Amino acid sequence: MPKIKIGDIWYDCRIAAEKITVTEYDGFFICPTPVDKWCSEVPNYSSWPTFTSVTPKEGTIGTSLTIQVDSFDADVASVLVGLEHGCSEDSTQISRNRNQVTITCKIGKRPDAKTLRGSSIVDITVLDTQGRTASGLHIFALSTSSHLQHSLMLIVFFCLVSLM
């Protein structure tokens, strides 16, 4: 399958003129027509990593994740959670069973990350040492606080409103 690399992430072009959203740059690109016209520097790997799953499906900074990727025959270089967060290096553990990789880690905040407010649905991307990526698109709900904190805030709000 033809691929296009933008920044550190490879995107699949399955059909000609397909519109691919690039959340990293808040935009999109259109796959070339015809799709068999590609630059010679695009690597021709026999396999490309495939994002399989992430558990849990939602959390905050500090949440422990378990990520599975298939056809992963290189070393893990990094894990991105959305655009500005990732797995903290000191919490990351990687296990391999043949070509399946399981990554367990805690979500950390990069020093240059903007302050996250509320909740947003983000991608999780695993980058290998050969520049290939496996992404789960719009797969994780990242928020600034837990549901319990949101519930308590709503209870306090409604109590205050009822007192007025």
Residue 127 has pLDDT above 80, yes or no: yes
Residue extent(s) of CATH 2.60.40.10 domains in the chain: 47-164
SS3 content of the chain, % helix, strand, coil (to 5): 15, 45, 40
Query: Per-residue pLDDT averaged across 86-109, rounded?
Result: 89
3-44 pLDDT, tens digit per residue, is 777 776 778 777 777 888 886 777 888 877 665 555 555 555
CATH classification (class only), 47-164: mainly beta
DSSP-assigned letters across all residues of 65-95: EEEEEES--S-EEEEEETTTEEE-GGG-EEE
CA 6 vs. chain centroid, Å, equals 15
Q: Do 47 and 128 form a contact (C-beta atoms < 8 A)?
A: no
Instruction: Supply the pLDDT for residue 104.
Output: 96
Q: Please determine, for residue 149, whether its predicted confidence score (pLDDT) is greater than 50.
A: no
Of residues 142 and 46, the one with the higher pLDDT is 142
